Amino acid sequence: MPSALTTDASAAEIPTRREGNADTLVGKMDGVLRRAGTVITAATDKDSSPPPVAEDRSASKTVAAAAGGGQDMDVRKEKSKVKPNKHSMDYMMRSFVAGGLAGCAAKTTVAPLDRVKILFQTSNPQFAKYTSSWAGLARALGDIYTHHGITGLFRGHSATLLKIYPYAAIKFVAYEQYRAVIIGARHQETWFRRFSAGALAGVTSVLFTYPLEVIRVRLAFETGARSPSLAHICRKIYYEQQPPITPPAAAAAHSASAVVRGAAGAAATTAQAVAPRSGIVNFYRGFSTTLLGMIPYAGMSFLTHDTIGDVFRSPLLRKHATLPQPANAPADKSAPLRAWAELAAGGIAGAVSQTISYPLEVIRRRMQVAGAVGDGHRLRIAETAGMIFRERGLPGFFVGLTIGYVKIIPMAAVSFYTYERTKTLLGI
């Protein structure tokens, strides 16, 4: 019996040891699983961490690209607003085109009035009767239209366009160049600098285009039934000669004053004998007077236009007189004026400049047609002025000024308006 009990006891202890072994095994397995879970979690965390970093990097790149794009856009805007180089060939060619078109548009607008004004200024015998009243302008235009048709109102206009395109183009280009040199910055703008730039521009343009102006005046002066050709007028001007010089009469031989007068007369005679009486020099009749007249005309024209423009751009009138700055406008360009303001500035500039320079213009016209009337004697400035004063007195220097206003105001207005608008289109 004891052995049986012992056997039973041993059998009872086996499950207990097995359970202990199972518990130990389970514990070990739990430890292994925990360590495996820790390793897996760590690996998972390590694998899952890069995407946010990548997202952060991509986001940073996006922000940097956006910032860089904004900076590039700002740089492009700044480059588009850089002050242009006015001495570059590109700028000069653009302003040349704009100036030439402006001159042609202006002259075409007032071509009939210009024809009548020349006839008045040069005291054409057939039109002298129309110069005493405003109604004479309309009657003169009607007379020309009756006898010569619409083409008579534009006689000489082809020569006008041939002359005015290079004249206006050179004038505006020269003004831009002189202005860039004389007026380097806005704070340097004074009335004297503006006047000087305009006067120099006018002198420069007339140096190159004066012969064409002489041809135009002579074409407009002809009032015959048959319109002369351009070649005929050029040949006529070229071969015109002064009459032979008559030696001064002999004075008292032993008089001191007679000796002085004789020496002066001999010097004048020698100078006239040396000077050519025909040829290219005939195309420069009245040239010195033109230079004298061009200085106040061009100087006051540009000075007045720029000054009136400043008035329209003042804080009081800016809202009503200016337009928004175009996107392609250079950095140093002022806000463009509205159409009415630009036309008004140009018209006022034309009226002021015409009033100041008109007497010299009358003298110049008379000198230019000296070969078409009289004996062809080449008159000097003083001689022409004296002749005008003897004929009509002081009012003779302002004959045709009223029609001059009617002509110059729209012409200057259209010229400056076309020039400024064409500059805007060309990006200068």
The letter for the amino acid at 321 is A
What pLDDT, on the 0 to 100 scale, is given for residue 146? 86
Residue 132, CA atoms < 13 Å, CB-side half-sphere? 3
What pLDDT, on the 0 to 100 scale, is given for residue 217? 78
Question: Which tokens belong to 226?
Answer: 């048959």
Give bridge partners of residue 322 from the DSSP assignment: 337
Q: CB of 298 within 8 A of CB of 202?
A: yes
Question: Which tokens belong to 140?
Answer: 């003169």
Residue 286, sorted as left (phi over 0), alpha (psi -120 to 50) or beta, turns out to be: left
What span, in angstroms and rounded, lies between the C-alpha atoms of 354 and 297? Answer: 6
What pLDDT, on the 0 to 100 scale, is given for residue 133? 67
Question: Which tokens belong to 391?
Answer: 């004929």
- List per-block mean pLDDT (blocks of 10 residues) for the chain, which spans 428 residues: 45 46 53 52 47 46 47 48 84 95 93 81 74 75 85 81 90 95 86 95 90 79 69 85 51 43 45 54 80 90 96 94 88 89 96 91 78 57 87 86 84 96 91
Q: How many residues does the chain have?
A: 428
Phi, psi of 322 (to 5 degrees): -120, 160
What pLDDT, on the 0 to 100 scale, is given for residue 252? 39
Longest distance between any two alpha carbons in the chain, whole Å: 197
What span, in angstroms and rounded, lies between the C-alpha atoms of 211 and 230? Answer: 13
Q: CB of 404 within 8 A of CB of 117?
A: yes
Q: Which residues contact 203 (CB under 8 A, 6 or more apart)?
A: 291, 294, 295, 298
